Amino acid sequence: MDDTQVWNSGMARLNSFLVSLPAETAEALTLLLARYGRAKKDLAAVVAAVDAAAVCCECRGQCCLNGKYRMNVCDALACLAAQTAPTVDFTRKPVCPYGTAAGCTMEPGLRPADCILFLCDGIDRKLSPHDRLLCAELEQILREFIREASRLTGEQVGTPLLLWAEKQNTSSKFMVQRQA
């Protein structure tokens, strides 16, 4: 199975899981994922305010190489809950499958947490002490959202989607929930 097939399988399993959730759990997860997206937007805004785009243009997005494992299960659930599926192209290795030469195809609130959390040295040098503190606080908030989503779903949603989807383990709580 190639990466595109694994991606499609994983997204289909997650979509089936989402529609099978009890209404109360689905509502709680949807609200959590919306707050998760807002926190990612807030963190991206702090970084954008120091002209991160200029830093990225200089290095040509070196951090965007080899990014196929950056999308975790929680990020994928957030995309599905927002009713948007990222465009992926796994044939352009080592370039990130979620971007193009012009940059990421996803809006900041739906980008992988790993991408939003990563601050290269060039960007870090531009951040004020206050900005660094704010970034650290937002990182903790994002990590707490992932822990809470894991608790709600009974699955480790911080796991990269492709690795999670590659598992053909029928004891996955996502599979058990769907079959019940």
Residues 120-148: pLDDT tens digits?
888 899 999 999 999 999 999 999 999 99
CB within 8 Å of 67: residues ≥ 6 apart: 95, 96, 97, 98, 99, 112, 115
Q: Where exactly are the structural domains of the chain?
A: 3-179
- What does the pLDDT read at residue 174? 53
Q: Is the dihedral of CA 137, 141, 143, 144 positive or negative?
A: positive
Burial of 126 (0-12, 13-18, 19+ CB in 10 A): middle
When mean pLDDT is compared over 52-61, 89-98, 110-119, the highest value belongs to: 110-119
**CB of 153 within 8 A of CB of 174?**
yes
Q: Between residues 168 and 94, which one has the greater pLDDT? A: 94
Of 180 and 70, the structure prediction assigns the larger pLDDT to 70
Q: What is the pLDDT of residue 132?
A: 95
Q: What is the pLDDT of residue 179?
A: 45
Q: What is the pLDDT of residues 91-114, one digit of tens each?
A: 887 778 888 777 788 888 999 999
Give the pLDDT score at 180. 45
Q: What is the pTM of this model?
A: 0.87
What would the mean pLDDT of 47-68 be, rounded to a whole number? 79
